[in-house]
């Protein structure tokens, strides 16, 4: 008699649709050690590409959107149109970049599985967090060392 709530979807009268236990196929034979090492190196390269693509979110993508808006404002003579183009282009590029990153993350999972790891989740969240920390540190160095706040904080003679 099946009375385990996790086995019958939480009800004792039968199973709700879509709540059957997950049954995975049998594991395929692992590749050679060299093949797994190569797949691991490819996965590391894909991870590095994800970090670099994430870093584009904090500088080049917004700068490109502002440049497009500035060119539009210059050509049309209308500031409102330039602002709309800037905002729309930045949002399109950011969300497009996130879509690309999500697909690269799925590829990374498949490569890690091919390398012999039981990979079920991606690295998009840690990669985005790492890129955010790198961008924040770079901005802080720029702001304090090269831009506005550095000369104000230094003692004047």
* Residue 3 domain flag: no
CA distances from 66 to 43, 87, 100, 118, 148 (A): 34, 8, 22, 43, 21
Burial class (CB in 10 A: 0-12, 13-18, 19+), 27: exposed
Quick one: pLDDT at residue 5?
Answer: 58
State how many domains the chain has.
1
Decide if 5 contacts 21 (C-beta within 8 A): no
Q: How confident is the model at residue 98 (pLDDT cuts 50, 70, 90)?
A: very high
pLDDT above 80 (res 7): no
* Residue 135 domain flag: no
Tell me the whole-structure pTM to 2 decimals: 0.68
Between 128 and 1, residue with greater pLDDT: 128
pLDDT above 50 (res 1): no
Structural domain that includes position 55: 33-124
Between 34 and 25, residue with greater pLDDT: 34
* Residue 5 domain flag: no
* Residue 101 domain flag: yes
Q: List Cβ neighbours of 52 (8 Å cut-off, separation of 6 or more).
A: none
Give the residue among 62, 70, 67 at the shortest CA–CA distance from 90.
62
């Amino acid at each position: 008699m099946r009375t385990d709530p996790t086995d019958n979807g939480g009800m004792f009268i039968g199973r709700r649709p879509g709540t059957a236990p997950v049954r995975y196929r049998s594991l395929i034979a692992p590749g050679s050690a060299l093949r797994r090492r190569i797949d691991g190196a490819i996965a590391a390269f894909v991870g590095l590409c994800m970090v670099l693509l994430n870093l584009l979110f904090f500088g080049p993508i917004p700068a490109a959107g502002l440049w497009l808006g500035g060119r539009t404002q210059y050509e049309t003579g209308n500031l409102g149109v330039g602002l709309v183009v800037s905002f729309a282009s930045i949002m399109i590029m950011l969300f497009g970049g996130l879509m690309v990153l999500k697909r690269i993350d799925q590829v990374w999972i498949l490569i890690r599985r091919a390398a012999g790891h039981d990979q079920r989740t991606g690295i998009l969240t840690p990669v985005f967090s790492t890129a955010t920390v790198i961008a924040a540190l770079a901005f802080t160095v720029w702001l304090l060392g090269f831009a506005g706040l550095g000369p104000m904080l230094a003692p004047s003679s």
